Structure 1
């Protein structure tokens, strides 16, 4: 069914597109503020765009078979760029998202059992408990102006804390949020020297990041020490992600994580497990506030459902489509950048050692050759029997390095949106357009106020 034939879908606001002839220095000036705003119309129409990034060529890939080659068929030839490593290592250390080669293989194999569908199902009670508390707090704010972005951040942080450690984040949450804000506002932005110098040459900002990392890892180690002090009954099944990760062993070598490795893995999972999900839920609520008819469809689907188990979540087909469409329009990771280790040929294009390959889900998900009405909010496109090409839709990446926590994030997002919209009608108080900007993740340029009323 073509939903556009029934009613015109909404088209949420986006940043103005850059002139296609914008100079390199002009793009460089915009990158630190909003990477999304550096792309012009060509990037939404052409399959492969070649440019230059300092001493090397750069390529934007919008062609699924080319993306498949880079992320799957020949993925070992492509590593993170120096700028990417600089942005992520201070907060993620040598965890799964950063590791390469044998280190990555060991971590992936060791962590895999903690993120199976069965393991995720065992964590759903932690999610529902936090959602019950969140809904109870929002009940006291019905009819008032509410910052739902902040509510989603606090809620997903609480879910991350309980699913990881089985304890709430009342005491530690403010400190953790301060770390996230501090890093995102200054240290997580790319500066000129970050992109020019090799990783082995520290920049002035690297020194600031190193100081941040020292404080950050000490904080995560404190959380781990508190969880270990709480203990676990002998012979009892794992009760949270920490139990699963602490007891995890590589099936081939029998090795587990050292204390330092565990700090990096926990940091990775807490950050990836709350910040990106909070952002996705904010955008979903924003879109549903703009589109009351679609909001009512979500509410109708949830009516009468208990929503306290994986089977209940799996039945929310339309709500899942809303989440999928939200992450198409606002992919949490708006850019995947890789550097070629050696020469290659990608869709007939010669790649040299050191060339930078950019796969931008923001562009890919809005590409005019890949999607019908690419800028419109049409959740039912994900309920069609014709699924999008696997390498045209990358909210969690693709290939061997696809996000290990995707099933967890999808379950949490669908459950949260279904429960919230099932309980409340959501509308915008602030009519100022919310413009997405890309710095670390796809964030809103401001937090609009919402009004919620009980259904």
Structure 2
């Protein structure tokens, strides 16, 4: 069956099966794998990775293990998580843009940061930030109305929307005047420095690779930019009063470690702001884009979501509790296109996983992309079926569905991101019918997040009142 036939298949008769990259040979060499990683890490896996519980291998002299069994994943991410740390290559790639923030911190530093930040991202804090989310989405809808009937790049529109939400929820101001610079930083880093090169993989951490020198230059420019945003927020707080600004920055400034009563230093604040803006903005934009793409391919599902969203709008309140089908669409989208497609850990000491001996420095890979499409864990794993996540459906194993990770290091902003994405998607589909102009398949690419290989053009039209 051709891609066009799959795309045009009526959802009422058979579920949509969206395009995905071709499978790699199961016996791919380390150099062949590295070459593919630089183009599309998702395309480095063969059929065994979608069928076997554990896929052992070798990668530049070290044993590696792809884990697809929930019990082994529980062991690595929960029961013995302190034995599994980020790899040197992962630290090299992420530290220049995230610094020593929560995502990269280890040991006691991570525990202190997690305790300190927890109140800012507790469920009770989310309602304070929802007005920022709704206002930014309403402004995005107003701008999109001007493009009805014309080709529109919804990927860029979602990046602008989530960046605006990130700015308003973090700093209480519209970040659009800094948007071009911020997107320039992110695109430049993604294009030049985010993919690991051979020397990143084989050199000890204390030995800088050529890419590390470029990353250090980037780090200096990026840090100055973050400090500029923070200074602007502090100036706004001095004029309007910090107590009047209900945002994440204010919550982080006020946060104290419950054991030591220490606050974040200015340098630590900069790293936390970088982590929250980048992790939240990019991953949520990606989830919204893929949701809109799938809904454009599946008009029946789009109409069902639109009916729910319009009922919520008619009630006078967009409340996530009313948007169960919208949330199911997002959950299924993140199953098929998990924002973070790969978790890589290095063993600090020996261990046993699913009957395999793991030595110190061996590499363990947990891929939500593979796990979410594994043939032993899901019925029709490659099909788009939001009904899997509706109330009353059997819930997936907690260690088989990892859009935000799991265990002590589960994403601290998961509830924030889900609230933001659910409200934004519902408001957008309540307002617009979304269809694709460009019918060529869009293939997911794994770089840092699960990105589309290109930005297709959509057509949007106003729904009847």
Pairwise TM-score range, normalised by the shorter structure = over 0.9
Note if 1:378 corresponds to 2:385. Answer: yes
Choose which of 254, 261, 286 in structure 1 pairs with 2:261. Answer: 254
CA positional deviation for 1:250 = 0.4
Scaled by the length of structure 2, the TM-score of the pair is 0.95
Q: Which digits, 9 at most, give the CA deviation of each residue in 1:110-162, with x for residues without a partner?
A: 00000011111110000111111111111111111000000000010000000
- What residue number does 2:402 align with? 394
Report runs of 4+ in structure 1 exceeding 3 Å deviation: 232-235, 306-311
Scaled by the length of structure 1, the TM-score of the pair is 0.97
CA positional deviation for 1:275 = 0.6
Report the secondary structure of 1:57's partner residue. Answer: strand
Note if 1:302 corresponds to 2:327. Answer: no
CA positional deviation for 1:230 = 1.2
Choose which of 428, 435, 441 in structure 2 pairs with 1:433. Answer: 441
- What residue number does 1:404 align with? 412
Note if 1:453 corresponds to 2:455. Answer: no
Note if 1:169 corresponds to 2:175. Answer: yes
Choose which of 338, 341, 346 in structure 1 pairs with 2:348. Answer: 341
Choose which of 97, 103, 108 in structure 2 pairs with 1:97. Answer: 103
Q: How many residues align?
A: 452
Note if 1:28 corresponds to 2:34. Answer: yes
Q: Please give the alpha-carbon distance, in whole angstroms, between the structure 1 residues aligned to 2:227 and 2:440.
A: 42
Note if 1:414 corresponds to 2:425. Answer: no
CA positional deviation for 1:197 = 1.1
- What residue number does 1:281 align with? 288
Note if 1:133 corresponds to 2:133. Answer: no
Note if 1:240 corresponds to 2:247. Answer: yes
CA positional deviation for 1:25 = 1.9
8 A Cα contact 1:47 1:61, kept in partner:
yes
Q: How does 1:23-422 map to 2 (within 5 A)?
A: 23-231=29-237, 236=243, 239-306=246-313, 312-383=319-390, 384-422=392-430
CA positional deviation for 1:21 = 2.1
8 A Cα contact 1:434 1:448, kept in partner:
yes
8 A Cα contact 1:396 1:406, kept in partner:
yes
8 A Cα contact 1:307 1:419, kept in partner:
no
Unmatched segments (≥5 aa) in structure 1: none
Q: 1:195 to 1:134 in 2, by over 3 A?
A: same
8 A Cα contact 1:307 1:415, kept in partner:
no
8 A Cα contact 1:306 1:312, kept in partner:
no
8 A Cα contact 2:97 2:222, kept in partner:
yes
CA positional deviation for 1:306 = 3.4
Q: Please give the alpha-carbon distance, in whole angstroms, between the structure 1 residues aligned to 2:313 and 2:263.
A: 38
Q: Which digits, 9 at most, give the CA deviation of each residue in 1:226-252, with x for residues without a partner?
A: 111112566836510000001100011
Deviates more, 1:325-334 or 1:193-202: 193-202
Q: Please give the alpha-carbon distance, in whole angstroms, between the structure 2 residues aligned to 1:364 and 1:16.
A: 17
Report the secondary structure of 2:64's partner residue. Answer: strand
CA positional deviation for 1:13 = 0.2
CA positional deviation for 1:307 = 9.0
Q: Please give the alpha-carbon distance, in whole angstroms, between the structure 1 residues aligned to 2:410 and 2:365.
A: 16
Q: Please give the alpha-carbon distance, in whole angstroms, between the structure 1 residues aligned to 2:216 and 2:11.
A: 55
Report the secondary structure of 1:303's partner residue. Answer: helix
8 A Cα contact 1:238 1:244, kept in partner:
no
Note if 1:444 corresponds to 2:447. Answer: no
Q: Please give the alpha-carbon distance, in whole angstroms, between the structure 1 residues aligned to 2:302 and 2:396.
A: 24
